[in-house]
Amino acid sequence: KTKPSQQSVAKLREIGIQPDILVCRTDRPIGDENRQKLSLYCNVGIDAVIECRDVSSSIYELPLMLAEQKIDEIVVKRLGLQCKPIDIAPWREILQDAYKSVYESITHGGIANEAAVEIVRIDAEDLEAKGTAQLEGLDGILVPGGFGNRGIEGKILAVQFARERKIPFYGLCLGMQVTVIEFARHVLGLKQAHSTEFAPQTSDPVIHLMESQKGVITKGGTMRLGVYDCQLTPGSKARAAYGQDRIQERHRHRFEYNDAYRQRLESAGLLVGGVNPQTGLVEIVEVKDHPFMIGVQYHPEFKSKPNQAHPLFAAFIKAAIGKSRGA
């Protein structure tokens, strides 16, 4: 809703203050319609309506998010200053370090397979701008978790590349969600398939906020946080990797696989590898007739150890080694 912001600006005007920039705290995309409303009724340029979304995965995403919306250029221009273009690269490096637990888990998977793993970091936004040529020659592709829509289409491109080229793929949390989106778009033919986190009005919300959570106002209330059970599907790759029927994994997310699409997705080849036995929520998806393509809604990197690699990281690296050796 934009009314509270409009009323706040009206109060400022009453005491003679006209804002030059609106920084809008939100847990979801503002959307073009709301941005236009705020610009019109608050008398602020539309480019000066800045979206400041939750970045629960890492606070270091904030400088990148604000730079993407050119808030620095707006401030400098308003103050009549001359400044050099900012160098945001150090912040990108810091953000990469935020994924340290994922990198370490990959290394653990290598140890379990008696192999040294070379990690190639690729920015999803580069895939959007330059295409997938830089993915050529990789033996495995992993899309980690995260929040926010920056680079989301690049992640979907990486998923498509891995699926079509039969390259071992592993998606964590958001990585699982983009796996579902990509499959729905390019296999089911649902061209508008998306997550309501990024496209609230999508006609095919294959990833959505759980029905029971839609009335919850506070962001903490909508966060599925902590350890949950997962019942593994007999015959699935996940079941083979874990070597047991039921597991427990740590979660940190708000949006879920939309069960309304399950029958169509499974019929087309995106199989369910595990569900939460209490709620029926889908926790694992696997692509049929693929060497290794698994997406999990949880964060397995939090349970991996040097002397006890997480089963799925070990299985992913094993599949990547097989790809490297032409198996």
Global pTM value: 0.74
DSSP 118: P
H or E segment and range at residue 51: strand 49-53
Of the candidates 156, 117, 172, the one whose C-alpha atom is nearest the C-alpha of residue 323 is 117
User: What are the residue ranges spanned by the domains of the chain?
Assistant: 3-79, 99-324
Q: Which residues are catalytic?
A: 173, 299, 301
pLDDT computed for residue 215 by the predictor: 53
What is the pLDDT, as a whole number, of residue 219? 45
What is the pLDDT at residue 211?
64
pLDDT at 220: 44
How far apart CA 87 and CA 67 sit, in angstroms, is 10
Helix, strand and coil content of the chain, in percent to the nearest 5, comes to: 45, 20, 35
Architecture of domain 99-324: 3-Layer(aba) Sandwich (3.40)
For residue 254, what pLDDT is reported? 85
Residues 6+ apart with CB under 8 A from 184: 190, 193, 204, 206, 261, 265
Q: Quick one: pLDDT at residue 58?
A: 66
Distance (Å, rounded) from C-alpha 272 to C-alpha 8?
47
Residue type, 295: G
**What are the 10-residue block averages of pLDDT along the chain, 327 residues in total?**
88 94 85 90 92 71 86 92 83 72 95 96 91 97 85 96 98 97 98 95 93 51 80 98 97 92 98 96 98 97 94 98 89
